[in-house]
Structure formats: C-alpha cells, structure tokens
Amino acid sequence: MIRYNPTKRIQTALKNKDTKVLKSLCETLHPASMAGLLVDFEYDDVWNIIRGVSPQLRADIFSHLEVSMQTDVAQHISRRELATLVTYMSHDDRVDLIKRLPEDIAEKLMSALAEKERTDIRNLASYPEGTAGSVMTSEYVSLPDNITAQQAIDLIRQEASDKETIYNAYVVDGEHKLIGFATLKDLILAKPDKIIRDFMSKEMIYAYALDDQESVARTIAKYDRISIPVINEDNTLLGIVTHDDALDVIEEEYTEDIEKFMAISGSHDSDGYLATPVTTHFRNRIYWVVILAFMGIMSGVVLHHFEETLSTMMILALYLPMLMDTGGNTGSQAATVVIRSLALGDVKSKDIFLVVWKELRIALMISGILGLLAFGRVMFLSRNTVIPAGFDLVHIAWVIALSLSFQVISATLIGALLPMVVSKAKLDPAVVASPAITTLVDITGLLIYFTTATALLAV
Amino acid sequence: MIRYNPTKRIQTALKNKDTKVLKSLCETLHPASMAGLLVDFEYDDVWNIIRGVSPQLRADIFSHLEVSMQTDVAQHISRRELATLVTYMSHDDRVDLIKRLPEDIAEKLMSALAEKERTDIRNLASYPEGTAGSVMTSEYVSLPDNITAQQAIDLIRQEASDKETIYNAYVVDGEHKLIGFATLKDLILAKPDKIIRDFMSKEMIYAYALDDQESVARTIAKYDRISIPVINEDNTLLGIVTHDDALDVIEEEYTEDIEKFMAISGSHDSDGYLATPVTTHFRNRIYWVVILAFMGIMSGVVLHHFEETLSTMMILALYLPMLMDTGGNTGSQAATVVIRSLALGDVKSKDIFLVVWKELRIALMISGILGLLAFGRVMFLSRNTVIPAGFDLVHIAWVIALSLSFQVISATLIGALLPMVVSKAKLDPAVVASPAITTLVDITGLLIYFTTATALLAV
C-alpha cells in the first residue's frame, strides 16, 4: 500500500476542481478525521470541499469543524445553503452555531427554516450558558407506557435516523411528563409482547434544565449512563444530555478551573489559543495581575515598616526571596490538593477540621526538613556576609530557619483553609487563585519573619 | 410523602438485623447511589448490608464502592464469597481489585476461580498501568462477518447479560482479527437478511493495547463513540474501552496534570484525600519542595553577589518581593495557557514562533500597565524612605518600574517557551511545574533588576 498525504490530495483535487475525488475523500474518512484535516484550509476552500456530499454527511463534517471556522463558513454561504446545513445538524450543535452568528444573519436564517425547527431552536437557545439546558438536545426517543417491547423497537427503528441516541428511551405520560426509562438492551431482552410500563425502570436519574452543566456531566459519569434526561420543575421532559457532551463539558470545565486557579479570568470558548486575539488574552490576564499588584502593596507596607531592621541587619534581606518562594510553593500545594479533593467530592466543606489536622501534620514534616536546609544554606552562602557587631552567624541562621519553618506551617494552613472556607460559603473553591494565595502568604510571611527576627535577635 | 434519611434507615436495619429492609433498600436505589451511602459505614457493616442481595446486584454495588473500601471488604470475607463476588464483577473492575489485594489473598482467590476467569484476569492484568490495555474490558460483543443482521441481533440478545455494552459489535475473522464494526443501530436498521460483511463499517478507529490511556480517552471523545476496540500489533481484537472508562481516565489525568503542574509528585490513585496517609501526602509534596529549595540557592548566589549594591541602596531591597511575585505570576499564567493549549491540541510544538510572537505582544501590554503601577507604588510607599545622597526618588522609581517591565516580558516568554521546548522534546509539558517557573524567573528577575539598577543608577 502506498502511503499518501490526504491534505496534499485535497489540495490537488481543489486546484483541479476534481469534485469526485473530494467527495470520495469525505465519504471514506470519519467526519471528525475529515474536519481535522480541514483546519489548515481557508473557509471558502472548506465549503468547496464539503458542499458536494450528501446534506447529512456535509452537516456531520461541518459540526466537527472548529467553532471559528463554522462561523466563517456560515457567514459566507447563501441563506438557502445555510438553512439546509442547519436543518441536518444535530439540535444542540446548531443552536451553538446560531448563537455565535451575527444577528442579521441569524435572523435571515431563522426565517428560512421550517416552523418546527424554528421553535425547537428558540426553545434550546433559551437556556443560559453553562446550564444543563444549554448542552441538551431535543433529538431523543420518547415512548408511551402502554405499548409492547416489540412495538417500541419498531417505533425506534422508524425514528432512529433522526435521534442522537436510540439506546435510551424515555417513557412519558400524556402530558409529556417523565415517568420511566428503558434501554434498548431492556427492550431487546424483554419478551416481545410485554408492556413497557411493566418492565421500565422507574429510578429517576435526571437533571433540571437550570442545573449546572458540570453537575450533569458528573451525574452521567457517576451512573455510567449514555444519556440522562433533562426535565423542568413539573417533570416535563425537555431533552437529553449525552455522554459525548459530558466529556466536552468536563474538558471545558477543567480548562476553566485550571485557568481560574492560575489567575486567568474569562470563560473559555472553543476558539483555540492561536485563534484568540492578543487583546482577549491580555484582558483575561491583566485583571488578576492588577489585583495582585494592589494586594502586593500590603507587603510593601510591611517591608517599609521594618526598613530600619533591614538596614541594620542587611543579611535578612538576602533571605527574603527564599522565605517568599517557599511560602508560595507550600501554600499553593496545599490549596491545589484541597481544591481538587473538593471538586472530586473526596472532601466536603464540613470536613474542615479533618483537613486542618491533616495539613498541620504534613506541614510539620515539611517545615522540619526545609528549616534544616535553610540553616545549611545561610551557613554556606553567607559565610562572608558582613554581620553587625555583637551577632554571630549561627544564631542568625537559626532565626532565619525558624522563621521559614513557621512560614511553611502558616502558608500550608492558609492554602488549605481558604478553599474550605470559600466552599463553605457555597462558592467555587477554584476562585482562590494560587497567585492570590502566594501574595497573601507573602504578607503573613513578612510579618512572621520580622517578628521572629526582632524578638530573637533584638534588632 | 414523608422525607426520610436513607443512611438512618440503613443504620436502624443493621442494628435490628433486619435483612429484608436492607435487601429492599439495595434493590430500590441505583448501585452507584447505594455505594455513595455506604462511605460512612465500616467494612463489616458494608458487607452485611450487601451480602443478602443477588450476586449480580451485590457485585454492582461493590464495584461502585471506593477502592480502599473494596480492598478492606475483600480481605475480610471468605474465599468462597470473594470468588463469587469477583465472578460477577465486570472484567476491568475485578482486575483493578485483584491488583490491589495482598499477594496471598489474590493467589488464594485465583485458585478458587474457574480456569476461564483466571486466564481472562491474567490477560487483562498483564498490561502496564496507564495503558489502554489496563483500562479495557473483555466483555465485548464480537461477530463473524458471514451472518445476517437478524442472526446478529439474536446472538447479541443471548449474550447481552454478560457484556459491558451491546451497542457496538466488533466483526472479526477466523483468527479473531478485527475487520469491521457495526452498531446495534446499524443492525436494527439493516434489512434482517442482509449479511454483516456487506454493511459493516470498515473505517478503523481503534487503540493499541500499549497506547497511553489518555489518548484512548481522547479518541473516544473525538469520535463520540460508546466504545472503541483495543487490538495488538497483528490486529487481533483484545478488548474494548468504554465511554464511562474514558470519563474516569480524563478525570484521573486531569488531577495528575494539575498536581504535577503545582509541583506535587506521585500518581493519583482512587483513594481520597482523607483516606491517603499523611506520610504519602508528605512524600508527594516534599520532592519538589526540596528541589526548589536547591534551585533557590542560585537566586541566593545572585543576591549575595549584589550585596553591596543593596547596602548602598536599601530601597532596592524593599521592591524585591514585588519583582519576584509579579514575575512568578505572569510566567505561570503564560505557562498555564500554553500547557493547556498543547494538551487540547490547539497548539502544536511546531507553532513555537507563533506562540512567542503572541506572548511577546501580550507581555508588552501587561508590562506597560504594571510598569506604571510600580512607578506609582514607589512614589507613594517610599516617599519617606532614606535615599543615598545624589539620587532622587523619581529617578529610582523609573528604574524600578523599568526593571519590572523587563521582568514581566522575560518571565512571560520563559513561561511560554519552557513547555513548548519540553513538548518539542516529546515530554509531557505539564512537567514544567509552575513553582519551578517561579523559581527560575526569580533568578533571571534578580539579574535583570540589579543589571538595570547598576547600569542606570551607577551604584
């Protein structure tokens, strides 16, 4: 078999306007793989590549394109072409697309769609970003409770091509209220003439439309479901969230959490790093950096307060960076572990004393080792440093080491406590950004350092 | 309806040895929900609660227990009970359990199992942790290619109860080599007398047994699959990885990545924060903390080199913390964004110049604002600070602000470049821990600070 470069084949076919080759490439590759190849092309080329295939396949490949590419293509094709594309897209994906289109294009598009599609889009688009409603789709299988297993399978067979998943069927009453649930496996294993009502599962695992999308994703993960139903307050079935959406949500939330924790604000949309403009990156980062700069003024004030101590005993200034770095590192470690444990549910906000007790013991062990290292470091690095008369290096080294140990303990406890307190206040623990902890323990660290030094060295 | 507390009901039933109530509770709740309630009980109580139900349900609830609880229970029940439990567990879960049991118990258990189970366990256990093989299960549906759609459905119906998923069927030849794939949807939609070979999908999306588990999870996410097949080098089908495993893997990798990035070593096992002993937490954290302490010696050496500058111009010492914190923050921000983009595939290691160019522009904007803030801060905080004769505060403030701006630019570029270089060297970019970047940019920051100060102030 000759290995070939599919990107090159697409380029050649495009140049030669060889629509046959393009069509056959689209039909051979998985839509996701095809979309992956198209990232290197311009939007007009992308459209020329996919326009020749069946409307369903075209919509499938289109759905796998990057969001910014989708928007570009959608804005440059005719209203008729766009309407066909949208009609064949899955219901959750097309709502995401329409939300991103300029208003005039979105309106023109809506007017070109069938009444039924329009209502469906308006319904799905009405849920705020970040909710279960915003990631659900309306292409689910619903069944009445009085038909047989065989009738249900026949019904599913008829509707299969329009549904996002046919493996979970939701049983509803006359008012479309959710009353049960059967997997296709249940239906296949049941005796063909058995009535659904008699073997459907009545255990209710569902989400409300306004639930947080992350909690829905976690429910899917916990119960190993292919999809879970989304209902409103009076139990009416509105849609389903599927397992692949759960994966996307968890990826997205992960990115947002780690960025939040590293003091980067802004929500993470599907545009990649390179496609996001410099000004957006700047805006996401400057926010916290400026807050931290202002928080830093506090440590400046503390330092100025001890100006005289510093000028009499210059050697103390030489170990300021060590004190600050170590505090920041150990505090951030503790915060990371606690925030992650809270997110995974290993730790609940009521466990605050258990956490403090555990962190205290860990901190004591770490502080012992770091204290000894700090003593050795002062003795070695400062062996030639000028020391005021009446003091000796060993004494100073012990004081510095002792302050560092106190700082490790205090920073670890602050790093662990802050997210616990924030979580107790029902906020997302990840808002406690690691750099904020660093800046905060800088202030406490300086206080510890100078208090210990002035007390034990009497400067 | 009276709201009740299920944990309390379990406690009462346990005390009264009311096995009927316990059984009915187990049968009403989803196994995952039941397991969630059992975290507050001791292992002997847990066993008493679940031993009364059917072997299948017992194994289902057991599989959802925390790993440490599973190990505790397994070590305290009879060999016969354990053998039954393991026989009913899903094939991937039971291998994970057996791997964690003390060797003597594992061996006794193995000898009590049927030959077929033993071979299956040995096969699955033979793949190293972290590979696709280590998370796959052997309970998949495989079909020959010469039967009809209806025959396939009948076959699946017979085998359904033993399979992890029946929604994907893998088509194999006489030597069990993977030659195609059909979903249950395909089978249901096909004409009943159509031969599988003629309508199965031949596009091959699979993983090799030794592939990284994270890449398998990402493949499942990319192609929206319920499961993907795992094969060996000569195409023999070995098992499948299912969508729920993909979610677990992504959660686990996420925790490991963020911990690695925050300088916490060790692999994350399924024990929670509170169940992990203090010494393990200590071991995971001390490793990096000590390395960083030694790296910090370098900044100590730089500081000592400029001791004299510091003692003539003490005011410089007062702004050391600001310089170091800001460098650490901006460097970590850049590293976070770049590492995450590399992980998501938004950025490839070949994009190094694009990344540097983007970060340079972002850094220039941030450094401008922070430089101005720093100038204001010096003018305000140090208005009463003693300054050596011949210098004025405005001049010094500009020098400090300028150094800070340089530091922001250099730290941002270092933070962005390091993960790019590491990724170019085919290593995981997350090994570039944020505290290591902080410590590194401390060193460059001090050099920038003192070089600028000595050059422009001539001290």
Q: Do A250 and B248 touch (CB under 8 A)?
A: no
How close A232 comes to chain B (CA, Å)? Answer: 20
Share of chain B above pLDDT 90, in %: 56
Q: Hey, are the CB atoms on B337 and A264 less than 8 Å from each other? A: yes
Tell me, yes or no, whether B41 and B119 share the same domain. Answer: yes
Structural tokens at position A368: 């012992």
Does the beta-carbon distance from A318 to B303 stay under 8 Å? yes
Which residues span the domain enclosing B394? 278-457
* Residue B189 and residue B289 in one domain: no
What percentage of chain A has pLDDT greater than the value 90?
Answer: 56
To the nearest whole angstrom, how far is the Cα of A176 from the nearest Cα of chain B?
Answer: 23
Residue B304, pLDDT > 60, answer: yes
Residue A410 has a pLDDT of 96
Token pair of A245 as six digits: 């959406």
Alpha carbons A427 and A266: distance in angstroms, whole number: 17
Q: What is the 3-state secondary structure (H, E, C) of B327-351?
A: HHHHHHHHHHHHHHHHHHCCCCHHH
Q: For an interface test with B, which of A150, A191, A247 has the most B Cβ atoms less than 10 Å from its Cβ?
A: A247
Q: CA B173 to CA B449: how far, in whole Å?
A: 70
Angle at A383 between CA A382 and CA A385, to 5 degrees: 55
| Residue B310 pLDDT class (50, 70, 90 cuts) | confident
> Does B1 map to a domain?
no
In a shared domain, residues B63 and B87 = yes
**B320 shares a domain with B452:** yes
In this structure, is residue A131 part of a structural domain?
no
Q: SS3 of A137, please?
A: strand
User: Model confidence at B119, in pLDDT bands (50, 70, 90)?
Assistant: very high
Total tally of structural domains belonging to chain A: 3
Residue B103 sits in the same domain as residue B195: no
- B329 Cα to chain A: minimum distance (Å): 6
Are B13 and B104 within one domain? yes
CA distance A214 to A344: 12
B287 and B354 fall within a common domain: yes
- The residue of B158, B244, B330, B349 whose CB has the most chain A CBs within 10 angstroms, and thus the best one to mutate to test that interface, is B244
Answer yes or no: is pLDDT of B237 > 50. Answer: yes
Facing A250 at nearest CB: one of B250, B261, B274? B250
Give all strands (DSSP E) within A305-347, no chain letters: none
Q: Which stretches of chain A drop beneath a pLDDT of 70?
A: 1-4, 267-271
Tell me how far the alpha carbon of residue B216 is from its chain's centroid: 13
Res. B286: pLDDT tops 70: yes
Confidence of residue B270 (pLDDT cuts 50, 70, 90): low
Q: Are A244 and A258 in contact (CB under 8 A)?
A: no
Residue B268: pLDDT over 80: no
On whether residue B147 sits in a domain, the answer given is yes
- B325–A292: do the CB atoms touch at under 8 Å? yes
Edge-first strand listing for the sheet containing B207-208:
B207-208, B227-231, B237-242
> Which residues of B fall within a CB distance of 8 Å from A189?
157, 160-161
A132 belongs to a structural domain: no
**Beta pairing class for B237-242 and B207-208:** unpaired
Same domain for B446 and B298? yes
Residue A253 lies in a domain: no
Identify all chain A residues contacting B347, using CB atoms and an 8 Å cutoff: 272-274
What's the average model confidence in pLDDT over B298-323? 87
The DSSP secondary-structure symbol of A212 reads B
Q: Would you say A119 and A92 are in contact if contact means Cβ atoms under 8 Å apart?
A: no
d(CA B79, CA B63): 18
Q: How far is A17 from chain B (nearest CA, A)?
A: 26
Q: Are residues B356 and B287 in the same domain?
A: yes
Domain boundary among B261, B287, B317: B261
Contact between B326 and A28 using a beta-carbon 8 Å cutoff: no
- Give the residue with greater pLDDT, A132 vs B342: A132
CATH of the domain at A98: 1.25.60.10
CB-CB neighbors (< 8 A) of A336 in chain B: 258-259, 262, 264
Query: What confidence tens digit (pLDDT) does each residue in B50-65 have?
Result: 999 999 999 999 999 9
The answer to whether position B270 is within a domain reads no
ipTM reported for the complex, 2 dp: 0.78
Residue B143 has pLDDT above 90, yes or no: yes
Average pLDDT of chain A is: 90
Domain stop point among A126, A160, A182: A126
E strand or H helix that includes residue B170? strand B168-172
Instruction: Give residue B1's pLDDT.
Output: 38
**Does one domain contain both B448 and B336?**
yes
Q: What is the pLDDT of residue A259?
A: 85
Q: Give domain status of residue B31, yes or no.
A: yes
CATH number, residue A225: 3.10.580.10
Cβ–Cβ gap B189/A299 under 8 Å: no
| A267 within domain boundaries | no
Other beta carbons within 10 angstroms of residue A221's beta carbon come to 21
- Chain A contact set for B189 (CB, 8 A): 157, 160-161
HSE value, Cβ hemisphere, 13 Å, CA-based, for A326: 36
- In this structure, the answer to whether residues A147 and A109 fall within a common structural domain is no
Asked whether residue B438 carries a pLDDT value surpassing 80, the answer given is yes
Q: Which of A135, A258, A341, A342 to mutate to test the interface with B (most CBs of B within 10 A)?
A: A258
Do B319 and A300 count as a contact with CB atoms less than 8 A apart? yes
Pair (A333, A306) in one structural domain: yes
Q: Band of the pLDDT at B416, cuts 50, 70, 90?
A: very high
Cβ within 8 Å, pair A337-B273:
yes
User: What's residue A107's pLDDT?
Assistant: 92
Min Cα distance A50 → chain B (Å) is 19
Query: What does the pLDDT read at residue B267?
Result: 64
pLDDT at A293: 86
Contact A195, A180 (CB under 8 A): no
CATH number of the domain within which B411 lies: 1.10.357.20
